[in-house]
Amino acid sequence: MSANESRHGDMAQTLTDKLTATPEGMRLYQQERAILEFTELLCEIMEEQNVTRSELARRLGKTKGYITQLLDGRANMTVRTMSDVLVALGRALHFQDGPLSATVQAAPLWPIREGLAWGATAAWPEQPLRIPAAEPVRKGMVA
């Protein structure tokens, strides 16, 4: 590990620590983490199935703009909405909890497929995905 990577890792850990140091910060952090996990999962499933936003919108009886809002985190999804979207993709929604400490890491980006059951189950991988700060993170949205 280079000195630059170490420095960025330390900065990321410090920022994460600061964000999650209070109950309110932890609450907001967990909301954003859950949104990221679910939207990344949707993008992966859509990509695997070659389903476009337009096609998903058609299946749900919604607009393409609505699907875009779901995928970029702007829409406040209910459990019903998450279930409906997954059913439209031939999947089922399952929940699994985990300790807060398992979700708070230097790089709060979790590999979606690693540790997931095939049925679109949210799960806790043992190791977080560590992305060096210099590399961009891309969301795999399908047009």
Helix, strand or coil for residue 76? coil
Q: What are phi and psi of 94, to 5 degrees?
A: -130, 155
Q: Where are the domains positioned within the chain?
A: 3-103
Quick: pLDDT tens for 73-122.
888 899 999 999 999 999 999 988 888 877 776 444 444 444 333 334 34
The structure's pTM equals 0.62
Spatial CB neighbours of 94, under 8 Å, sequence gap ≥ 6: 117, 119, 120, 121, 122
Q: pLDDT by residue (tens digit) across 33-88? A: 899 999 999 999 999 999 999 999 999 999 999 999 999 988 889 999 999 999 99
Q: Measuring CA to CA, which residue among 96, 111, 92 is closest to residue 44? A: 111
Domain 3-103 top-level CATH class: mainly alpha
